[in-house]
Amino acid sequence: MLLKYKYLRATLVVLAGVAAAANAPAQGYPAKPIRFIVGFPPSGTNDFLARAVAPKMAEFLGQQVIVDNRGGASTMIATELVSRAAPDGYTILLNAPAHGTNPTLAKPNYDSIRDFAFISLVAESQNLLVLHTSIPAKTLKEFLAFANARPGDINYGSSGAGSTPHLSAELFQYMTGVKLVHVPYKGSGAGMVALLSGEISMYFANIPVAIQHVRSGRLRPVALSGTRRNQAVPGIPTLHESGLPGFDVTSWFGIAAPAKTPRAIIDTLNSAIVRAVNAPDLRARLLDQGADPVGNTPEQYTAFIEREIAKWAKVIKAAGIKGG
């Protein structure tokens, strides 16, 4: 009996030590710069957010966080790169909505859940339906009348198949019956250049990408893609309240690491991210550009990703949205 008691006590001590080690700070981490992979070229919303958050993370981590743009294939190039990286906390990924749509629209060479350790949701933002100033419409009703009179003549841009600008426009066509032509670009920066030049006529642009052009009067805003208004563009209604009840497409941005990254490292990164997005100066900057800071737990972010994949699988199939 005494022997069993001693064995049980020793086992409990070992288990307590394992639990304590799992919850302890990552000793010596980080000891070198962290590579922050972004699946889009420079100048878009993803790039803006990564470069805004990285210096704050570095401030709290005590090491550089270096943004590395690896655009292409609707973020799958960057995402696959991170899925195959060493799970040591020195390679992290900026997730975007394509992470939730690619499982349905494409066939990634990775598992969008199992191959990653999700750290935190960083920010959310809506898309803003903006028009080239040559289009005379100022409201949703006016634009629908203009578009319906010209079926198949209006080009809209996107930052790639599966991006929220693409999905917003496809859902818009599905709900309104208008016929538009999709012109994908390699990132939202290139799409904005095309819209400003008149190469395309409309774009469901992430607010941070379009806001300076809206404020300067170079683009005409019509409506937001979410269900609530945004303080960065006061006075702009939502599509939901403008005559398309239930229309809701929201962009989001989070950070993940390769699967099997030790929990102590995930917790260290999570703490730095949450502190960064809640820092008054960064928070004010994000809100001014139309991005709502979040910062949550790995468990909450993982559940969010799972919901996004399930939600968009239903929408994409129902609306007949194609990846090209």
Class of domain 34-124+250-319 as given by CATH: alpha beta
Q: Is the per-residue pLDDT at 62 higher than 60?
A: yes
Positive/negative CA dihedral, 83, 84, 87, 90: negative
The end-to-end CA distance of the chain, in Å, is: 70
Region of 231 please: left (phi>0), alpha (psi -120 to 50) or beta. Answer: alpha
The pLDDT tens digits of the residues spanning 116-140 come to: 999 999 999 999 999 999 999 999 9
Cβ atoms of residues 208 and 123 within 8 Å: no
Which of these ranges, 162-176, 214-228, 260-274, has the smallest mean pLDDT? 162-176
Residue-averaged pLDDT of the chain: 90
Q: Is the per-residue pLDDT at 33 higher than 80?
A: yes
SS3 assignment, position 95: strand
Average pLDDT for 14-37? 68
Place of tokens 């634009």: 143
Closest CA to 224 of 208, 248, 245: 248
Task: Read off the tokens for 310.
Answer: 């399930």
Rounded to an integer, what distance in angstroms lies between the CA atom of residue 81 and that of residue 77? 6
- 126-242 has the same fold as 34-124+250-319: yes
Rounded to an integer, what distance in angstroms lies between the CA atom of residue 32 and that of residue 230? 39
CATH superfamily, domain at 126-242: Periplasmic binding protein-like II (3.40.190.10)
Q: What are phi and psi of 142, to 5 degrees?
A: -65, -40
Q: Is the per-residue pLDDT at 324 higher than 90?
A: no
Long-range CB contacts (within 8 A, 24+) of 187-190: 187/40, 187/41, 187/42, 187/43, 187/44, 187/47, 187/71, 187/159, 187/160, 188/40, 188/43, 188/44, 188/45, 188/159, 188/163, 189/41, 189/42, 189/43, 189/44, 189/47, 190/41, 190/43, 190/159
Q: Is the per-residue pLDDT at 18 higher than 50?
A: no
Long-range CB contacts (within 8 A, 24+) of 46-55: 46/94, 46/96, 46/253, 47/187, 47/189, 48/208, 48/209, 48/289, 49/94, 49/122, 49/123, 49/208, 49/253, 49/286, 49/291, 50/94, 52/282, 52/285, 52/286, 53/122, 53/273, 53/276, 53/277, 53/282
Q: Which residue has the higher pLDDT, 160 or 214?
A: 214
Q: What residues are paired with 68 via a beta bridge?
A: 37
Rounded to an integer, what distance in angstroms lies between the CA atom of residue 91 and that of residue 260? 13
pLDDT of residue 25: 55
Task: Read off the tokens for 213.
Answer: 């052009």
Place of tokens 């607010």: 207
The pLDDT > 70 percentage for the chain reads 91
pLDDT of residue 22: 41
pTM, two decimal places: 0.84
The pLDDT tens digits of the residues spanning 231-275 come to: 999 999 999 999 999 999 989 999 999 999 999 999 999 999 999
Burial environment of residue 201 by CB neighbours within 10 A (0 to 12, 13 to 18, 19 or more): buried
Q: Is the per-residue pLDDT at 197 higher than 90?
A: yes
The residue ranges of every structural domain in the chain are 34-124+250-319, 126-242
